[in-house]
Amino acid sequence: MAEKAEQQSYLELLRKAKKELPQPTSSGERWEIPKVDLMTEGRATVVRNFEEILQKVRRDAAHLTTFMLRELGTAGDYENGRLTFQGNPAPKTVQERLNDYCRTYVICSECGRPDTHLEKDERTTVLKCEACGAHKPIQARRARAAPKPEPMVKEGKVIEVLIQDVSQRGDGVAKMEGYTIFVPGGRKGAQVKIMIEKISGNVAFSKIQP
């Protein structure tokens, strides 16, 4: 009798535990990170399917927008279902940033499902899984460093400069990126196209291009 009672108690506990398990919210089909659909508008780039991406990842527009702009190192805004940002990064770069977001803020690290939501625990953001019940604090990501721009004053490079002064020898003098650029034949106040021929310290020598 004692063994039977113990078995019934175990079964009762098992039924209770099953009731308390979170119910899966997906069909179990393999979930894939959405693909970005980009369009270039002059010096800006538009994510045309941003609204669809938001629906699939089930995240707030402001949260995903802030992440994407920070990681791309640019400015922009979300309006009328489209995310627009300055610059024309490669589509692969934009997709990689979205992939990073989904791995950090959407996909459960325990069961791999996207059936999650974000909660605030004081100052910590927690990713809670509705499928397996796991919850994990999210470590704040450091923004990626923006790529260092290529220097304008470089030997062999053609640039436009404003002749600000004339040297004692009669050469035009321009200033750029901390360099003093001597331009033979340059007249004060003229905007000219030049090629940098040689750099020595913070002084550059050039010639006017046709």
Lowest-confidence region among 83-97, 141-155, 179-193: 141-155
Bridge partner residues of 206 (DSSP): 196
Specify the higher pLDDT residue, 102 or 143.
102
Rounded CA separation 156/166 (Å): 23
In this structure, is residue 34 part of a structural domain?
yes
Q: What is the CATH number of the domain that holds 178?
A: 2.40.50.140
Domain co-membership, 118 together with 49: yes
Q: What is the pTM of this model?
A: 0.56
Rounded CA separation 89/47 (Å): 12
Rounded CA separation 95/18 (Å): 39
Q: What is the CATH number of the domain that holds 74?
A: 3.30.30.170
In this structure, is residue 152 part of a structural domain?
no
Domain co-membership, 165 together with 133: no
Lowest-confidence region among 15-19, 69-73, 114-118, 180-184: 15-19
Mean residue pLDDT of the chain comes to 86
Determine the structural domain holding residue 204 and report its residue range: 158-208
Contact in structure between 75 and 45 (CB atoms under 8 Å): no
In this structure, is residue 4 part of a structural domain?
no
What's the token pair of residue 132? 């397996």
Domain co-membership, 33 together with 103: yes
| Tens digit of each residue's pLDDT (9 = 90 or more) over 164-179 | 999 999 999 999 888 9
Rounded CA separation 68/78 (Å): 11
* DSSP state at residue 47: E
In this structure, is residue 49 part of a structural domain?
yes
Please state, for a pLDDT cut of 90, what percent of the chain lies above it: 66
Rounded CA separation 163/25 (Å): 67
Q: In the prediction, which pLDDT does 123 show? A: 85
* DSSP state at residue 114: -
Domain co-membership, 127 together with 198: no
Specify the higher pLDDT residue, 208 or 149.
208
Domain co-membership, 70 together with 119: yes
Lowest-confidence region among 14-28, 117-131, 156-170, 190-204: 14-28
Specify the higher pLDDT residue, 11 or 37.
37
Domain co-membership, 163 together with 125: no
What's the token pair of residue 158? 């053609």
> Of the candidates 20, 12, 28, 22, which has an alpha carbon nearest to the alpha carbon of residue 114?
28
- Picking from 137, 171, 189, the residue at the C-terminal end of a domain is 137
In this structure, is residue 6 part of a structural domain?
no
Tally the domains of the chain. Answer: 2
Average pLDDT over residues 10-26: 55
| Tens digit of each residue's pLDDT (9 = 90 or more) over 20-74 | 554 544 444 678 999 999 998 888 999 999 999 999 999 999 999 999 999 999 9
